[in-house]
Amino acid sequence: MKTIALITGSNKGMGFESARQLAKQDIHVLIGARNSEKGKAAVKSLQDEGLSAEFLLLDVINEESVKNSAQAVANQHGKLDILVNNAGINPEYRQGIFTFEQLPFDLLIQIYETNVFGAFLAIREFLPLLRKSTAGRIVNVSSSVGSLTEQSNRESLYYGINTVGYNSSKTALNAMTVQLAKQLSGTTIKVNSICPGWVKTDIGSDAAPRTVDEGVRIIVQLATLAEDGASGGFFNEDGMIPW
């Protein structure tokens, strides 16, 4: 039976490239997106390359949408092998919001809705399908700006990046990774957080030094982790990142 992978927010950027790279490994990818037109266009692009893909209508900040998506996958495939929580936003960076005083409360809520609550909903609703896999893998796309160690270290490259909402949302996502790994201990499911680095995407901007191809390497690596691979960790291409 073919491996089934779902990548949230995957009609563009790192999500799309992650789907593409996984599909190249003979994995059937589900393009999770809330915009049907863009999602279907992404699927067609992959299919035009001879890759196995389908569109899944999924709005991670809408509980009913996530539940319906999980039911659709259950009906169509009966299981899920890989879940990549890629959907995320960072409106602060582009708007130049770097202080508590500048950050509107409703914007903070929007950030957490996508980056934290959306990932939680996807995990909660798709976990029963991941349990039906012989080797379930969950990859939470985080960031080194969510590392409390890096944010507290004046020598760190990430010390001066003070997007309060985005940074703390990734810290919260990392905390969920730790809690989930403890819950799943003793099962065949592995869950890890990753940092792709500063990548040229809508979030990272054109100023970023890393390409999308480079950014998704660690995602693909942990999505296809071997049986003896780690769980409950935080990684980039160079290895473990301190919490």
146 within 8 A of 170, measured Cβ to Cβ: yes
Catalytic one among 93, 112, 158, 166?
166
**Assign residue 88 a region: left if phi > 0, alpha if psi is -120 to 50, beta otherwise?**
beta
Q: How many CB atoms lie within 10 A of CB 45?
A: 16
Question: Distance between CA 84 and CA 191 in Å, rounded?
Answer: 10
Q: Which long-range contacts (CB under 8 A, 24 or more apart) does 22-26 make?
A: 22/82, 22/220, 22/223, 22/224, 23/51, 23/52, 23/53, 24/51, 25/220, 25/224, 26/2, 26/52
159 part of the active site: no
Question: Distance between CA 126 and CA 19 in Å, rounded?
Answer: 18
Quote the tokens at residue 58: 């999924």
Single-letter amino acid code for the residue at 71: Q
Report, as residue numbers or ranges, the catalytic residues. Answer: 166
